[in-house]
Copies of this chain bind each other. A is one copy, B any other.
Amino acid sequence: MRDFSFKNATDIRFGKDHIDAELHDAVAQFGNNVLFIYGGHSIQKSGLYDRVKGLLNDLNVVELGGVEPNPKISSVRDGQKLAQDNNVDVILAVGGGSVIDAAKVISSAKFYNGDAWDLVVNANGADSYKLDEVPIVDILTLSATGTEMNHNAVISNPEINEKIGTRVPETPAISFLDPELTETVPARQTAAGSIDIMSHLTEQYFDRDDANDVSKGMIEGLMRTVIKWAPVAIKNPSNYDARANLMWSSTMALNGIVSVANVTGWTVHPLEHELSAYYDITHGIGLGILTPRWMKQVIEDETTLPLFARLARIVWHLTGDDDLTLAKQAIQKTYEWNASLGAEMTLPEVGISDDSKFDVMAKAGVEEGQLETAGYIKLTPADVVAIYQDSMTPEMF
């Protein structure tokens, strides 16, 4: 097992009864000037907006609404100005991953006098780690990205067609995770979020440090949890236990715990980013299409087969003596589980029926993910084109 360092000080308040009892003091302990960040109208429709405003009615609250699903640098710049103009002491982010991601960059940007995009790309001497930070309190409304307990943020800059993942110095100070708030998430978003969680787990499971059974064992448990509860949440959106298991799984999947000591980078995410860059498709759906095809592509490497067979036995409860057969069955199960959630399983179904961009996408994906050197299994652009091509039809084996 490789050496690692791990620290994560986010204070999690999980469940139905924390927000009303604790939100005010959780925010006010940091000061009176609050920047309240949220996305579209869903928190107004659901009543969460009024609830939050009511709880903070003795504080000075300025608002940044309308943060986009893929948060834009323009929203971050707006937040930076609001934070500076109002000498904000604390940021309250209410929403899904996008809102919290934007809050994370604004948190450092308050203490930076240049363009906030510098912080995202670490340009012009801007390094958020050298700056002070406004503490973040958040209320999560969607189970998917894990941003509520990690250092990551993804910000888009449409002026220059860039979408960049950045790492901020501190995880959120306090995250309120109330599964009830996700009961109104539509089936399709629930499916995409669940597939996203499974993909995070898969990317971390297939790692070259094959001696780390602690991480692999915990990942297997989280996978079984998501496999079991996502269909329940889709069939019965107000099943609290389903929402709770998905919510806590999504946090645990990406708070760093299950990837300590990992050595190799992610593969399917860079390949999906290229799809999203050229076509307007949902991230989780794209991952669900690509993952089984990536698995097919790498399954017969002698170093991967034992781990695929382990996945088959422990996660999919398959039995048998032949590893290759088991591995193929596990991949088929992955495909069928994605499909059972109502997710499209081919590229043409999501509007990509033309393969003319595959070469350029493959090249860029290999470069982004350093897939020829840093990936779990080496992939060349030609390998990636094969994965995209294989995603054009539903046939698996």
Number of copies: 2
Chain B residues whose CB sits within 8 angstroms of the CB of A218 once the complex forms: 217-218, 221-222, 252
Check B222 against A217 for contact (C-beta < 8 Å).
yes
Chain B residues whose CB sits within 8 angstroms of the CB of A16 once the complex forms: 3
Check B14 against A211 for contact (C-beta < 8 Å).
no
- Assuming the contacts A211-B245, A252-B218, asked whether A9 and B6 have C-beta atoms less than 8 A apart, the reply is no
Check A261 against B5 for contact (C-beta < 8 Å).
no
Decide if A355 is an interface residue (CB 8 Å cutoff). no
Check A9 against B7 for contact (C-beta < 8 Å).
yes
Check B15 against A4 for contact (C-beta < 8 Å).
yes
Decide if A235 is an interface residue (CB 8 Å cutoff). no
Q: How far is the CA of A303 from the CA of B217 in the complex (A)?
A: 26
- Assuming the contacts A214-B245, A217-B225, A244-B211, asked whether A11 and B7 have C-beta atoms less than 8 A apart, the reply is yes
Chain B residues whose CB sits within 8 angstroms of the CB of A313 once the complex forms: 317
Write the chain B residue with the least CB distance to A18. Answer: B3
Chain B residues whose CB sits within 8 angstroms of the CB of A223 once the complex forms: 217
Q: How far is the CA of A6 from the CA of B257 in the complex (A)?
A: 14
Q: Which of B5, B211, B244, B317 meets A12, CB within 8 Å?
A: B5
- CB 8 Å contact bits of A208-240 with B (1 = contact, 0 = none): 000111101111111111001100000000001
Chain B residues whose CB sits within 8 angstroms of the CB of A228 once the complex forms: 213
Q: Which of B14, B214, B248 meets A221, CB within 8 Å?
A: B214
Decide if A367 is an interface residue (CB 8 Å cutoff). no
**A310 CB to closest chain B CB, in angstroms?**
10
Decide if A249 is an interface residue (CB 8 Å cutoff). yes
Decide if A241 is an interface residue (CB 8 Å cutoff). yes
**A141 CB to closest chain B CB, in angstroms?**
17
Q: How far is the CA of A36 from the CA of B244 in the complex (A)?
A: 44
**A15 CB to closest chain B CB, in angstroms?**
3
A237-290 contacts to B, CB under 8 A, are 240-241, 244-245, 248-249, 252, 257, 260-261
Q: How far is the CA of A313 from the CA of B224 in the complex (A)?
A: 13
Decide if A10 is an interface residue (CB 8 Å cutoff). yes
A10-36 contacts to B, CB under 8 A, are 10-18
A186-226 contacts to B, CB under 8 A, are 211-214, 216-225
Decide if A340 is an interface residue (CB 8 Å cutoff). no
Q: How far is the CA of A14 from the CA of B5 in the complex (A)?
A: 6
**A146 CB to closest chain B CB, in angstroms?**
13
Q: How far is the CA of A212 from the CA of B179 in the complex (A)?
A: 13
Chain B residues whose CB sits within 8 angstroms of the CB of A11 once the complex forms: 5-7
Chain B residues whose CB sits within 8 angstroms of the CB of A241 once the complex forms: 1, 211
Decide if A319 is an interface residue (CB 8 Å cutoff). yes
Chain B residues whose CB sits within 8 angstroms of the CB of A225 once the complex forms: 213-214, 217
Check A213 against B4 for contact (C-beta < 8 Å).
no
Q: Which of B8, B18, B229, B260 meets A213, CB within 8 Å?
A: B229
**A314 CB to closest chain B CB, in angstroms?**
7
Could you give 13 example pairs across A and B, Cβ below 8 Å?
A1-B245, A3-B15, A3-B16, A4-B15, A5-B11, A5-B13, A5-B18, A6-B12, A7-B11, A8-B8, A213-B245, A217-B220, A217-B223
Minimum-distance CB pairs A-B, first 4: A217-B221, A3-B15, A9-B9, A1-B244
Residues on A lying within 8 angstroms of B by beta carbon are 1-18, 179, 211-214, 216-225, 228-229, 240-241, 244-245, 248-249, 252, 257, 260-261, 313-314, 317, 319
Apart from A4-B14, A5-B11, A15-B261, 8 more pairs, CB < 8 Å: A1-B244, A6-B12, A6-B14, A7-B9, A214-B248, A214-B249, A216-B221, A217-B222
